[in-house]
């Protein structure tokens, strides 16, 4: 699995923690920035990650900002992206099983690194259930295609 990573200045520290975790787990990733805590605009980092996931170059993406909200809004503008804002373990599992989310967003100012890494582990390790959930995703795709 290849994971595309992105953050703004509000999420860059948690992104570094996630990189260490992915390295320890032997999971391939690419960091699309940002690289320091100077103020930047989160859509500039959400877009390349979302495009890489939507194109199939990367299977999954992880986006971090202060709240995770801006990244989620921006990433979900890209066709084919199902970006889930997650701050608990139950939702991490459910959004993979039910929504087949392909990008995980979190807020560095919302949760600590311990919980965030647990969420990453669950989210990366959970499969989509398909079945009735596939039918619902197809309805979302129809909404997207009709825009």
Should residue 42 be labelled a site residue for ligand RB5 when binding is judged by CB under 6 A? Answer: yes
**Is 6 an interacting residue with respect to ligand RB5 (CB under 6 A)?**
no
By CB neighbour count within 10 A (0-12 exposed, 13-18 middle, 19+ buried), where does 66 fall? middle
Least distance CB 109 / ligand RB5 (angstroms): 7
70 sits near ligand RB5 (criterion: CB under 6 A): yes
* Active site amino acids: 65, 98
Q: How far is the CB of 83 from ligand RB5 (least distance, A)?
A: 12
Decide: is 69 part of the binding site for ligand RB5 (CB under 6 A): yes
- For position 8 contacting ligand RB5 by CB under 6 A, the verdict is yes
Query: Which residues of this chain interact with ligand RB5, rule CB under 6 A?
Result: 8, 10, 42, 65-67, 69-70
């Amino acid at each position: 699995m290849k994971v595309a990573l992105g953050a703004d200045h509000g999420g860059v520290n948690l992104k570094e923690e996630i990189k260490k975790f992915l390295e320890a787990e032997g999971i391939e990733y690419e960091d699309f920035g940002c690289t320091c805590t100077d103020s930047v605009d989160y859509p500039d980092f959400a877009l390349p990650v979302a495009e890489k996931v939507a194109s199939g170059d990367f299977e999954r993406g992880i986006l971090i900002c202060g709240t995770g909200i801006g990244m989620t809004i921006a990433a979900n503008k890209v066709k084919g992206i199902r970006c889930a804002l997650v701050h608990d373990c139950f939702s991490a599992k459910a959004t993979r099983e039910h929504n087949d989310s392909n990008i995980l967003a979190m807020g560095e100012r919302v949760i600590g690194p311990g919980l965030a890494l647990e969420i990453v582990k669950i989210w990366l390790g959970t499969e989509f259930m398909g079945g009735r959930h596939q039918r619902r995703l197809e309805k979302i795709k129809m909404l997207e295609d009709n825009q």
